[in-house]
Structure 1
Amino acid sequence: MNLQDIQHFVTVTLGELAIKVAAAILFWIVGRWLIGRVTAMAQNAMGRNQIDPTLGKYLGSILSVILNVALVLGILGYFGIQTTSFAALIAGAGVAIGVAWSGMLGNFAAGAFMMVLRPFKVGDFVSVGGVVGTVRELGLFATTVLTPDNVVTLVGNGKVFGDTIQNFSAMPVRRVDRTAQLAVGVDPVTAMALLREAIAKIPNVPESPAPEVTLLDINLTGTVIAVRPYTHTDHYWQVYFDTNEAIVRVAGEAGWPAPMPATRFVSG
């Protein structure tokens, strides 16, 4: 190979390759932008047609994956690579990857089942896979949960579907469980009447179902009153803390003594 041949190779072959690489990068950038736009438009269209946000995000994720695969195949075809052979290679690799990543496929299958059974939806406050929080997204392989302390947590769909699921948003209201320990000598009937009146005034506590204020237990310290208002899950912690404050306030205004264990005297 003489110098002229080398110059021809550099100026022609490498030049054409550089143009193709530049074009491929441009195709990738534009293609990714278009995929983002198409996915967003599809999700917006599903939102306008009142399709559940959970289903919309799940279908949007599937659409994004399919379009990205099509984009890669298109770029490879532009370089002259036989996409049919490449597709067969992908299929063969998919089998091997499927065996190695059976857990990922299990997460995908679990996500599909959850879309059918619908144990929860985006925005619900749930307990899934040992994590408590608000559902932000049901993805292809994992469910995104925002915990009460503002931590974004991803839980594999297989773990979600294979474990106990608690949906605190499924019912119109949920119960707040608190107790009030009374000292010996405090009339529990009067105490329950005062607490019932105070709890009924707490914001976001509905009249129906009415708060439950009942005698729960009797011990050496005195009596234990169960204080159980109901509220929507969005107001749970507000009612929880307001109930604690109401118990302390009522006890102070009524002049109840601090509960102390009864002392047993044994005669000698």
Structure 2
Amino acid sequence: MIMTDINWTHWSDLAVQAGINIVSAIVLWVVGRWFIGLAGRLMEEQLVARKLDPTLRRYAHSFLSVSLTVVLVIAMLGFFGVQTASFAAIIGAAGVAIGLAWSGLLANFAAGIFLVVLRPFKVGDVVSVAGISGTVREVGLFSTIIDTPDNVMTLIGNNKIFSDNIQNFSANGYRRVDLKTQLAASADHVLAIQLLRDKIAAIPNVLAEPAITVDLLEFSPLGPVLAVRPCCQPAHYWQVYFDSNRLIRETLAAADFPAPEQAMVVRQG
């Protein structure tokens, strides 16, 4: 009977101690997470006050939250008597293994930070990166989303973008539209130049400065080739491109310019 009472008392003490440990763990976790949330909010306020880029703010917030959560877990284990030194070593070794396995992802992550800090482009810019041209929809943690002109969403690894050439068509105040037109060998190129310069200047969104360039570019077997180069704001590039092409055809046809024809000279000796 005495033995039974001792066993009951022993198991009761263990149950009470386990209950206390569970409650303590819950309290520590709740309080710790509250402090982590508070730290995140305070950091967010400081970053917003400094007008830091939203993407970089998300990076910083995620890094702080994950780091403090790992510290909280290790602190809880230490509080309950678990040897945290070996646990930290295991985490470090796992981190190294994961880093080696995910080296590509880490490279993309690092490149993403550089893209946000250096800002070679921003959301909404028209760019050409890693062989893909389109409009930037999002600069993400590991990849950048590009919408191509035919409306295809394309994800490109940030490391591939950062290690290749980057062309930003929206960065400067204007773009030059480069067109060519072939004249017949018998055509009056001086008249063609004047007509095209006057007509293209009237196209909507063509800039007066820099001035339109219409001049002789080269000669082909068909005759002289004219360079037609109006300038416009980046957002109007394709509108000016197509309107200029259409106007070149209509202007030369209305002025009765001869169509270029391949000529062949046969000599009999």
TM-score by length of structure 2 reads 0.73
Residue type matched to 1:262 in 2? A
Q: Are 1:136 and 2:120 an aligned pair?
A: no
Alpha-carbon distance change, 82 to 199 in structure 1, aligned in 2, over 3 angstroms: farther
For residues 187-226 of structure 1, the aligned pairs below 5 Å read: 187-226=188-227
Structure 2 CA distance, aligned partners of 1:82 and 1:210?
76
Cα RMSD for the two superposed structures: 3.4
Residues 153-210 of structure 1 deviation map (CA, whole Å, 9 limit, x = unaligned) = 1111111111111111121111111111111211000000000011101111110001
- Alignment-derived partner of residue 245 in structure 1: 246
Residue type matched to 2:170 in 1? S
Structure 2 CA distance, aligned partners of 1:99 and 1:59?
26
Residues 136-164 of structure 1 deviation map (CA, whole Å, 9 limit, x = unaligned) = 22222112212111122111111111111
1:260 CA drift (Å) = 0.8
Q: Is the 8 A contact 2:55 2:116 kept in 1?
A: no
For structure 1, list consecutive stretches of 5 or more residues without a partner in the other structure.
1-11
Structure 2 CA distance, aligned partners of 1:83 and 1:208?
73
1:112 CA drift (Å) = 2.1
Percent identical pairs in the alignment equals 48
Structure 1 CA distance, aligned partners of 2:89 and 2:107?
23
Alpha-carbon distance change, 72 to 213 in structure 1, aligned in 2, over 3 angstroms: same
- Alignment-derived partner of residue 265 in structure 2: 264
- Alignment-derived partner of residue 126 in structure 1: 127
- Alignment-derived partner of residue 7 in structure 2: none
- Alignment-derived partner of residue 5 in structure 2: none
- Alignment-derived partner of residue 91 in structure 1: 92
Alpha-carbon distance change, 91 to 127 in structure 1, aligned in 2, over 3 angstroms: same
- Alignment-derived partner of residue 9 in structure 1: none
Structure 2 CA distance, aligned partners of 1:61 and 1:182?
57
Alpha-carbon distance change, 248 to 49 in structure 1, aligned in 2, over 3 angstroms: farther
Structure 2 CA distance, aligned partners of 1:161 and 1:49?
26
1:92 CA drift (Å) = 2.5
SS at structure 2 position matched to 1:121: coil
Alpha-carbon distance change, 123 to 241 in structure 1, aligned in 2, over 3 angstroms: same
1:220 CA drift (Å) = 2.0
1:61 CA drift (Å) = 4.1
Alpha-carbon distance change, 200 to 129 in structure 1, aligned in 2, over 3 angstroms: same
- Alignment-derived partner of residue 165 in structure 1: 166
For structure 2, list consecutive stretches of 5 or more residues without a partner in the other structure.
1-14
SS at structure 1 position matched to 2:159: helix
Alpha-carbon distance change, 262 to 89 in structure 1, aligned in 2, over 3 angstroms: same
Residue type matched to 2:247 in 1? A
For residues 11-160 of structure 1, the aligned pairs below 5 Å read: 46=48, 51=52, 55-64=53-62, 66-67=64-65, 89-160=90-161
Alpha-carbon distance change, 116 to 61 in structure 1, aligned in 2, over 3 angstroms: closer
Q: Is the 8 A contact 2:193 2:214 kept in 1?
A: yes
1:219 CA drift (Å) = 2.0
Q: Is the 8 A contact 1:124 1:169 kept in 2?
A: yes
Q: Is the 8 A contact 1:62 1:140 kept in 2?
A: no
Residues 78-120 of structure 1 deviation map (CA, whole Å, 9 limit, x = unaligned) = 9x99795766544321110101111111112222223333222
Residues 192-241 of structure 1 deviation map (CA, whole Å, 9 limit, x = unaligned) = 00000111011111100011111011222111111111111111111111
SS at structure 2 position matched to 1:98: helix
TM-score by length of structure 1 reads 0.74
Alpha-carbon distance change, 99 to 185 in structure 1, aligned in 2, over 3 angstroms: same
Alpha-carbon distance change, 238 to 50 in structure 1, aligned in 2, over 3 angstroms: farther
Alpha-carbon distance change, 209 to 104 in structure 1, aligned in 2, over 3 angstroms: same
1:246 CA drift (Å) = 0.7
Structure 2 CA distance, aligned partners of 1:185 and 1:158?
54
- Counting matched residue pairs gives 234
